[in-house]
Amino acid sequence: MAATLKDVARKAGVSIKTVSNVIHDYPHIRPATRERVERAIEALGYTPNQTARNLRSGRTGVIALAVPDLALSYFAELAGLVIAEAERLGLSVQVEQTGGTREREIELLRAPRLRMTDGLLFSPLEMSQDDAAQLRVDYPLVLLGERIFDGPADHVTMRNTEAARAATEFLVERGRRRIALVGAHEGEVIGSAGLRLAGYREALEAQGIGWDEALVAPAGAWHRIDGLRATRDLIASGVDFDALFALNDTLAFGALRALEEAGRSVPGDVAVVGFDAVDESAFSIPALTTVDPGREWIAQQAVRRIAQRIEDPGIDVQTMFADYRVVARESTP
Amino acid sequence: MAATLKDVARKAGVSIKTVSNVIHDYPHIRPATRERVERAIEALGYTPNQTARNLRSGRTGVIALAVPDLALSYFAELAGLVIAEAERLGLSVQVEQTGGTREREIELLRAPRLRMTDGLLFSPLEMSQDDAAQLRVDYPLVLLGERIFDGPADHVTMRNTEAARAATEFLVERGRRRIALVGAHEGEVIGSAGLRLAGYREALEAQGIGWDEALVAPAGAWHRIDGLRATRDLIASGVDFDALFALNDTLAFGALRALEEAGRSVPGDVAVVGFDAVDESAFSIPALTTVDPGREWIAQQAVRRIAQRIEDPGIDVQTMFADYRVVARESTP
DNA sequence: GTGAAAGCGCTAACAC
DNA sequence: GTGTTAGCGCTTTCAC
């Protein structure tokens, strides 16, 4: 089996404390002793047992990241950024998938598999404001996304409503008046869908454009297939529209597809705007105008915040908002 | 701080062994004792310290997965499948990104951050056959991908050359003769690029079609932007081609983009085939004909294999090949 | 400068 | 049925 401190001590003819001192670069060691110990470490191929250190220190150096599904580009890209930032801070990341169901999300918060981590970055998709109390956990927790506000935990999010308003105004400024929306969740008030829908309405009202229920296409999930179906339905309904705001990029890719099928040109007949600025949005045909939600900043702040809270659990709970930006590309005139 | 076994024992007025027995459902406990203990557990909100268990058992229940970058759809989708399968087996997954550089890949194999995991699923992108000796590590290791064969570790991979040959033949059968290839790595013999290029050549030779160096476009990395550039260069070179085989889907998306820019219709002027069958390939415009490499099977086998090896490190080293399948969609006639 | 020993929280062999 | 105790490998206080 693997060599232990004791093995090294025996081989070097010293006590384990001396070996430990060498490993931790304790300054006052006789050079000869140090060398003897180092030779023994080398000879035995000794590496410290991390688990034993964890038990001593009460830390593991691992944080958990819970996202709905890595097959969703937004979360895959977020996870990549989180892992990169965590590595900079000397942390590893255990990734969990909730599948985006409320039950699994709530279950995960108490799952034994988290007991080994120092904290959790949690991005729920289905839990709602009513479930906020579930976030009262006894470990460091940082919330991501826009399902729950004013909860008992740190929160890193973005200004969804303002950003959606900006995206809608971007279309209005380019002369569009009949702006369809794809991806609504009926009855949702907060959550990405609810907040972004509110921004869309605000923009239309501020511009004196009527709000037409027939232009709002619901889509339960936000996969490509959902954007495709919702847009097909919209076209089939016969409603007239000259622009389309998809509540995320993935929906927008499906929508582009449906418009192509129907022979509507983009941006000529229909201007399209997405939301998220996933990598792919720069390479769709046409390249997608979208809202960059500051994903990189979000990942960095979330990791830094949880590191701080691990260090000092007593710090005040905080909500942080990322800056957004409309990225103009070919899908709008 | 968190309650321990000892706290529970004191509260219930029993020894820690009795508490331990209750927790482990040891059958011979007096019902009254059991209930007293359970009440104490409840009252103190006791949960076992997982780190202490790890130290005792020598296991953590965590495996590491190392991929180049989660921003690459193929690896994000693979990671998602690995995590799902691991969960079924009661394992958690710590995800590491190597950035696809040889140095980081080799470094990772000895990184202290792995010392806390029970084993590693490793998908290198740059290490080569010459580095095979680096894979001789003292922990369970399962290799993924096609950079290194006959190494000292288990290996789950696919029949790249055969699959690329099938993809090329698929184009030939549909009447194409001037088949460009995008994504070659010069001088590479094994590795995804080398093996797939070999399949392309085999197919052309078997069909009695000449091999034209001018049709082979290199691309160092395999991002969309690389496919875009390589295809632009190909078009600019003036070489004539009626089909394009991209060595992965991401390159193919870039290629579709370049063809669109150049006014070449797909599949009319140019038929396009990709490789990987990432989710997005079903929703590009046009939908991409591609090779499904059996990613789901690969993820399952890899996780099961490492679980077996953790259980019994003595089992023989094994290489497993996934089945592939050409998925016909709109980018080919 | 170096060593002895306690203890992190748990499991399990062994006693009673 | 239940209790005692010896570790798992490490860090750290306190002697010497």
Contacts with A115 from chain B: Cβ below 8 Å = 47-50
Task: Average the pLDDT over B238-266 and give the result.
Answer: 96
Ranges of H-type helices in chain A: 5-12, 16-23, 31-44, 50-57, 73-88, 102-109, 160-173, 191-206, 224-236, 249-261, 295-311
β-strands A290-292, A325-327 pairing: antiparallel
* CB pair distance less than 8 Å for B71 and A77: yes
Kindly give, in sequence order, each residue whose CB lies less than 8 Å from that of residue B69, ignoring residues fewer than 6 positions away.
Answer: A80, B75, B97, B98, B99, B100
pTM for this predicted structure: 0.95
Q: Which amino acid residue lies closest to nucleotide D5, measuring CA to C1'?
A: B17
CA of A56 to C1' of D2 (A): 29
pLDDT digits (tens, 9 = 90+) for A276-309: 999 989 988 899 999 999 999 999 999 999 999 9
CB contact under 8 A, A283 and B95: no
User: Measured on CA atoms in the order A6, A11, A13, A18, is the torsion positive or negative?
Assistant: negative
Distance, in Å, from the CA atom of B139 to the CA atom of A2, rounded to the nearest integer, reads 10
Q: Is the per-residue pLDDT at A1 higher than 80?
A: no
Proximity of residue A53 CB to strand D below 7 A: yes
Q: Which residues pair with A271 in a beta bridge?
A: A243
With CA of B49 and C1' of each nucleotide, the nearest comes out as C9
Task: State mean pLDDT over B98-113.
Answer: 95
Of A76, A260, A284, the CB nearest to B76: A76
The mean pLDDT of B36-54, rounded to a whole number, is 93
For residue B284, pLDDT beyond 90: no
User: What's the average model confidence in pLDDT over B234-241?
Assistant: 98
Going by the DSSP 8-state scheme, the letter that residue B64 receives in this structure is E
Q: Is the CB of A55 under 7 A from strand C?
A: yes
Mean pLDDT of A226-243: 97
The pLDDT-based confidence of A2 (bands split at 50, 70, 90) is confident
User: Cβ atoms within 10 A of the Cβ of B190, count?
Assistant: 16
| Strand C contacted by A37 CB (< 7 A) | no
> What is the average pLDDT across B263-273?
97
CB of A151 within 8 A of CB of A228? no
List the alpha helices (DSSP H) in A110-263.
160-173, 191-206, 224-236, 249-261
Mean pLDDT (chain B) is 95
pLDDT-based confidence at residue B2 (cuts at 50, 70, 90): confident
DSSP-assigned states of every residue in B236-301: HTT---SEEEESSHHHHHHHHHHHHHTT--TTTT-EEE-SS--GGGGTSSSPPBEEE--HHHHHHH
Quote the minimal CA–CA distance from B206 to chain A in Å. 35
| Cα distance between residue A190 and residue A173, in whole Å | 27
Q: What is the pLDDT of residues A29-71, one digit of tens each?
A: 898 899 999 999 999 999 999 999 999 999 999 999 999 999 9
Give tens-digit pLDDT for B154-199.
Answer: 999 999 999 999 999 999 999 999 999 999 999 888 899 999 999 9
User: What percent of chain B shows pLDDT beyond 70?
Assistant: 100
CA distance A286 to B232: 17
- Bases in strand D with any atom closer than 7 Å to a protein CB: 1-5, 7-13
Cβ(B272)–Cβ(B259) below 8 Å: yes
Between CA B214 and CA B237 the distance in angstroms is 9
Determine the distance in angstroms separating the CA of A258 from the nearest CA of chain B, rounded to an integer: 10
Tell me the residue type at A123: S
Report the residue of chain A nearest B59, measured CA to CA. Answer: A51
Residue of B69, B87, B224 with shortest CB distance to A80: B69
Neighbours of A10 (CB within 10 A): 15
Distance between CA B316 and CA B321 in Å, rounded? 16
Q: How far is the CA of B56 from the C1' of C12 (A)?
A: 10
Alpha carbons A70 and B183: distance in angstroms, whole number: 26
Task: Give the CB-side neighbour count of residue B171, counting CA atoms within 13 A.
Answer: 33
Candidates A62, A279, A282; nearest CB to B94: A62
The reply to whether A29 Cβ lies less than 7 angstroms from strand C is: yes
How many Å apart are A129 CA and D5 C1'?
Answer: 50
Q: Given pLDDT bands bounded at 50, 70 and 90, which one contains residue B256?
A: very high
Return the bridge partners of A64, or none.
A94, A120
Q: Three-state DSSP class for B156?
A: strand
Inter-chain residue contact A79 with B92, CB threshold 8 Å: no
Q: How far is the CA of B231 from the C1' of C14 (A)?
A: 74
- Nearest protein residue, CA measured to C1' of C1: A29
Q: Is the pLDDT of residue A190 over 90?
A: no
Q: Which of B88, B94, B118 would you mutate first to test chain A, the one with the most A CBs within 10 A?
A: B94
Cis upstream peptide for B267 (omega within 30°): yes
What pLDDT does A295 receive? 96
- Which of B264, B188, B198 shows the shortest CA–CA distance to B222? B188
Cβ pair B212, B241 in contact under 8 A: no
